[in-house]
Structure 1
Amino acid sequence: MIPTTTDQLIRCSKIILMAFISLFGLLVMYSNFTDYASNYEYVGHILSMDTTRDNQNLSYRAITSPMLHHRIYWFIITLEVIYTAFCLLGTYHLFRNINASCEVFHEAKKFSIVGLLIAIFVYYICLQVIGVEWFNMDESQTWNAKDWARHIVDFILPLLIYVAIRIER
């Protein structure tokens, strides 16, 4: 379908933007599975707090168990797989219902919204809140993904609002 009206263009834009975040999720998953060691090393340094300033008042927060590092990393990978699957499914449902009534198209947004919420949990709660505020990730010169995570959230949050809002007719 070639968009001929603004309403059709809005629907197409929601599908395209969901495809973009789905592609991002697929690339993140690919990286985590094909370069597990590098990404695991990153998680291990953040959890161990071994590259942040030595502060006795905060060092009790460090998790130094490699077993827990693997489990936490696999938890993050699992969440990334889940949000990517929901985003892909959401993209498919939006595409499948592109010419449906506005009520049907709006209801087709469910999977997209769930996927985006899980993505916000991963990049905002896990990385920015827990990584930065609990494990002082922002103090590390080498293992700091605060800005990277913020840029992702800066895309996902407006996308969530844009997809969820009922502006198409």
Structure 2
Amino acid sequence: MGTLTTAQIIRRSKIAIVLMVGVFGVLIVFSNLTDYQSNYIYLGHILSMDTTNSHLQYRAITSEMMHHRIYWMIMTLETIFTSSCLLGCYQLYKQLDASPEQFHEAKKYAVLGFLVGLFVYYFCLQVIGNEWFDMDQSEDWNAMKWAQSIVDFLIPALIYLVLKVDN
């Protein structure tokens, strides 16, 4: 480690963070594909609002066809999130010893991946799932804490990634 500069360590840490997020995405996509039914049932309960005792039941989506379509949309977005992060990690690794401008430009796929992840876990789950479908009212089918933990990691990681402190 004595031969690495602080800037080189920072660059490697950014690559490691993007890789960790990408591996997280791989596990999510793998889980969704190999355990489709469990995750589908979870989403179905959220969309149906059948465990919320909410006066907003008119918002519920009870069509199984729509549940499948929304689930496939989420899985597609998670695949884009994962692919972008892994591609971003590769691009950053390729530019590890490049100029600061080239290394910064190589962040674009990782930034895109993080933004798609935030769209899924913040906007889709927390905003739509919670505010429209009252997900937080369900004791059994509530993904708020899980989604919040992802958002709590992605936002500071995104800020750290885009900072130009890796010159």
Give the TM-score range, shorter chain: over 0.9
Q: Which residue of the partner structure matches residue 100 of structure 1?
A: 98
The structural deviation recorded for 1:95 is 0.5
Distance 1:3 1:165 in 2: 23
1:35 aligns with 2:25: no
Distance 1:38 1:2 in 2: 49
SS of the residue aligned with 1:33? helix
Letter in 1 for 2:130: V
1:60 aligns with 2:61: no
Structure 2 CA distance for partners of 1:10 and 1:62, relative to 1, 3 Å:
same
Distance 2:88 2:144 in 1: 28
The alignment's C-alpha RMSD in Å is: 1.2
The structural deviation recorded for 1:3 is 6.3
The structural deviation recorded for 1:59 is 1.0
Name stretches of at least 5 consecutive residues in structure 1 with no aligned partner. Answer: none
Structure 2 CA distance for partners of 1:2 and 1:67, relative to 1, 3 Å:
farther
The structural deviation recorded for 1:81 is 0.2
Q: Which residue of the partner structure matches residue 120 of structure 2?
A: 122
Q: Per-residue displacement from partner, 1:81-111 (whole Å, max 9, x unpaired)?
A: 0010000000000001000000000000000
Q: Is the 8 A contact 1:3 1:9 kept in 2?
A: no
Q: TM-score, normalised by structure 2?
A: 0.98
Q: Is the 8 A contact 2:21 2:85 kept in 1?
A: yes
Distance 2:72 2:2 in 1: 42
Instruction: State how many pairs are aligned.
Output: 167
Name stretches of at least 5 consecutive residues in structure 2 with no aligned partner. Answer: none
The structural deviation recorded for 1:36 is 0.1
SS of the residue aligned with 2:51? coil
Q: Per-residue displacement from partner, 1:25-83 (whole Å, max 9, x unpaired)?
A: 0000000000000000001000000010142xx11100000000000000000000001
Structure 2 CA distance for partners of 1:115 and 1:103, relative to 1, 3 Å:
same
Q: TM-score, normalised by structure 1?
A: 0.97
The structural deviation recorded for 1:2 is 8.4
Q: Per-residue displacement from partner, 1:127-152 (whole Å, max 9, x unpaired)?
A: 00000100000010100000100000
Identity of aligned residues (%): 57
Report matched runs for 1:84-95 at 5 Å.
84-95=82-93
